[in-house]
Amino acid sequence: MNKILYFRLCVALVLMLSACDSYLDRQPLGGPSDENYFTNQDELILAVNGIYAANNYAPLDNMPVNICIDNGTDIGWDRNNSSLQSLGKGNHDSNNGFAISVWTNAYITIARCNNILDNAGRVKDKTNAAIFARSIAEARFMRAFTYQYLIDYFGGVPLVTHLLDLAGSQVPKSSKEEVLDFILSELDAAAPDLPLSYSGSDVGRATRGAAFAVKARAALYGGKWDIAAEAAKTVMNLNVYNLHNDFKALFSYAGENSREIIFALQFLKASKTKTHSTPNNLLSRNALGFSNKVPSQSLVDSYACTDGLDIDKSPLYDPAHPFQNRDPRLGYTIAVPGSTFFNFQFETHRDSVKCWNYNNTPATRIDNQDALNAFATFTGYCWKKYVDLQDKDDRANSELNVTQVRYAEVLLVYAEAMIEANKIDATVYDAINQVRQRPGVNMPAITAGKTQSEMRSLVRKERLYELAMEGFRLSDIRRWKIAEQVMNGSFYGRIQRGLLASAPAIDNNGTPNYSNVPNKDQLRVIEVRKFNPDRDYLWPIPNIEIVTNSNLVQNPNY
């Protein structure tokens, strides 16, 4: 949906659709309601627009979910004393605000979808047939998309497929498998009526490719390898999508309309209709940001060298110059010391009290707030995705679209599903190598003849390098059953006045182990985490839901 479309989502629409959010809401007697709303095609389209708007919520610091959530995993940290920090630290409970926000807003979206599916039939005879079919398909897609991340975070959840009244509101959980089967069938049903692409103000709506891509993701996460591979292959065979030729531009205004983007949240600054504050939260202190969501030392050390070898195995790795000769995606994803970030020299060594400001002509020396400010990045690094100079003067109101599904993920889903099914052939190598060898990345090709175990390691690392800070890491470490390893113990930032004396050991999942590094004790310990494998592979169902629904059973050990 093009940014212009948000002009249609005025306050009247929000009020008009609020009845869908809860069966307890009451409409003004003279205003629109469930009984008198669906009367023409325009109202149907507005209702469908409302389901996209409902998905654009921000559970923390006015940032979309997927670019928050990696900061509650082994690769990122939220400096704020927040509910996301609690999820990462492992001291959360069923009153956790982040989990509550995800749950609540998911069911708001689902309710809006159900409202359309229950009531759109009233205007079928007054609506263009293709638009009517597309509208139904969009609602089914968005409902399935929402259930996909609900079961990923919470496991089994109430499967609500119609609007509820008070008498029917005590819905028990359906199993994760039951909801997954529903998701897959809904995406199959929606896909034929979704266009391959859009033009004009409709750009950004769900497409056929988005339906199959989400199906592939859901099936992969559910361990349905053949279904995942087939759905991903369907997207690949549409011949609609390509990898963008500039990785870093994908997360800037220049890349918003790339053929790599399959589905994205749309934002619009005009009249402050809908914006997000990602730059404000991620930027360095010199750039007047808060640096309150930051990448880990572990992630920095995970990226391979340009010869394709891990840093503990590559002759190209130099501890005195640790950011040289590395996978270019490290520098595209993370601002590292010695680089330029937002037109400032970026250096977080505590003795670097001055730095260059390249925004001035000629450049000037300034006090280095990234070393001096008490709330400068605690880890010594900053995220670079979704930070664009175009937002320099209004960092709290970015209208940069936030990608939910892109073609590189589809290629990696295909590869992983085929690897897990032990159907490794040339197409698997090709899928991974397309991602590794896009222009500007140009990492060495994976050569044939690898074992299943070797290929599993390669694709897991590739997901880490490619998708960091896009909301996939929590899902990955859970489904690979490595969360209890990577989410226990010290969460590290850089040595504040030095560098690691040697490379840490890198395991098959790309995770560093610092036990053999001589000066490991100088690493900054940001926090000490714990992960209970008998509890923390799922989030808790919000306590308020348990209290108000006697048929709802809490997840284990909460």
What is the CATH number for 99? 1.25.40.390
Number of neighbouring beta carbons within 10 Å of residue 443: 21
> Please, are residues 401 and 276 in contact by the beta-carbon 8 Å criterion?
no
Q: What is the pLDDT of residue 55?
A: 87
Q: What is the pLDDT, as a whole number, of residue 2?
A: 55
Q: Which residues contact 11 (CB under 8 A, 6 or more apart)?
A: none
State whether 28 and 153 are in the same domain.
yes
Amino acid at 35: E
Is 423 domain-assigned? Answer: no
Percent of the chain residues topping a pLDDT of 70: 93
DSSP one-letter string for 232-251: HHHHHHT------S-GGGGG
Convert the pLDDT of each residue in 15-31 to its tens digit. 344 434 443 344 444 55
Q: In angstroms, rounded to a whole number, what is the distance separating the alpha carbons of residues 290 and 404?
A: 24
Range with lowest mean pLDDT among 6-20, 432-446, 462-476: 6-20
**192 prior amide bond cis, ω within 30:** no
pLDDT at 271: 61
> Tens of pLDDT along 88-144?
999 999 999 999 999 999 999 999 999 999 999 999 999 999 999 999 999 999 999
312 domain-assigned? yes
Q: Which amino acid is at 128?
A: N
Beta strands 334-335 and 261-265, pairing class: unpaired
For residue 474, being part of any structural domain is answered with no
In the chain, the N- to C-terminal Cα span, in Å, equals: 39
Using DSSP, state whether 286 is helix, strand or coil. Answer: coil
DSSP result, 184-241 = HHHHHHHGGGS-S---GGGTTS--HHHHHHHHHHHHHHTT-HHHHHHHHHHHHHT---
Whether 177 and 81 share a structural domain: yes
Statement to judge: residues 82 and 192 lie in one domain: yes
Q: Are residues 18 and 83 in the same domain?
A: yes
In a domain, 45, yes or no: yes
pLDDT of residue 13: 41
Confidence (pLDDT) at 34 = 66
Residue 194 confidence (pLDDT) above 80: yes
pLDDT in tens, 344-393: 999 999 999 999 999 999 999 999 999 999 999 999 999 999 999 999 99
**Who's near 321: CB < 8 A, 6+ residues apart?**
none
Instruction: Supply 250's token pair.
Output: 């994908």
Asked if residue 304 belongs to a domain, the reply is yes
Task: State the pLDDT at residue 5.
Answer: 45
Q: What domain count does the chain have?
A: 2
pLDDT at residue 12 greater than cutoff 60 = no
pLDDT band at 11 (very low <50, low <70, confident <90, very high): very low
Q: Is 239 exposed, middle or buried (0-12, 13-18, 19+ CB in 10 A)?
A: exposed
CA 19 to chain CA mean position, Å? 29
pLDDT digits (tens, 9 = 90+) for 265-304: 999 988 666 999 999 999 999 999 999 999 999 999 999 9
Query: What does R_g of the chain's alpha carbons equal in angstroms?
Result: 24
Instruction: Tell me, yes or no, whether 85 and 217 share the same domain.
Output: yes
* pTM score: 0.93
Instruction: Supply the pLDDT for residue 439.
Output: 97
Same domain membership, residue 215 and residue 294: no
What stretches of 48-165 adopt beta strand conformation (E)?
A: 76-78
Count of CB atoms situated within 10 Å of the CB of 153: 21
Final residue before a domain boundary, out of 355, 377, 396? 396
41-57: average pLDDT: 94
418/427 Cα distance (integer angstroms): 9
The answer to whether position 487 is within a domain reads no
Q: What six digits make up the tokens of 279?
A: 């730059």
Q: Tell me if 368 sits within 8 A of 353, measured CB to CB.
A: yes
Residue 1 reports pLDDT greater than 70? no
Q: Are 309 and 209 in a shared domain?
A: no
Q: Is the pLDDT of residue 520 over 70?
A: yes
pLDDT for the residue 270: 84
Domain co-membership, 192 together with 283: no
Instruction: Provide the domain limits for residue 143.
Output: 3-223+537-548
DSSP string covering 108-155:
HHHHHHHHHHHHGGGGGGGS-HHHHHHHHHHHHHHHHHHHHHHHHHHS
DSSP secondary structure code for residue 402 in this structure: E
Residue 99 near residue 83 (C-beta atoms within 8 A): yes
Residue ending a domain, among 341, 374, 396, is: 396
Domain shared by 283 and 217, yes or no: no
**Confidence grade of residue 6 (pLDDT, cut at 50, 70, 90):** very low
Give the pair of three-digit tokens for residue 34: 């469930």
Phi first, then psi: what are they for 516, rounded to 5°?
Answer: -100, 5
Mean pLDDT of the chain: 94
Q: Which two tokens stand for residue 178?
A: 């039951």
Q: Are residues 216 and 283 in the same domain?
A: no
Q: Which of 396, 426, 456 is the last residue of a domain?
A: 396
For the cut 50, the answer to whether the pLDDT of residue 481 exceeds it is: yes
Residue 32 has a pLDDT of 59
Residue 303 lies in a domain: yes
Q: Give residue 33's pLDDT.
A: 63
Mean pLDDT (whole number) for 146-150: 98
Domain-located, residue 509: no
Residues 33, 129 within the same domain: yes
Residues 216 and 327 in one domain: no
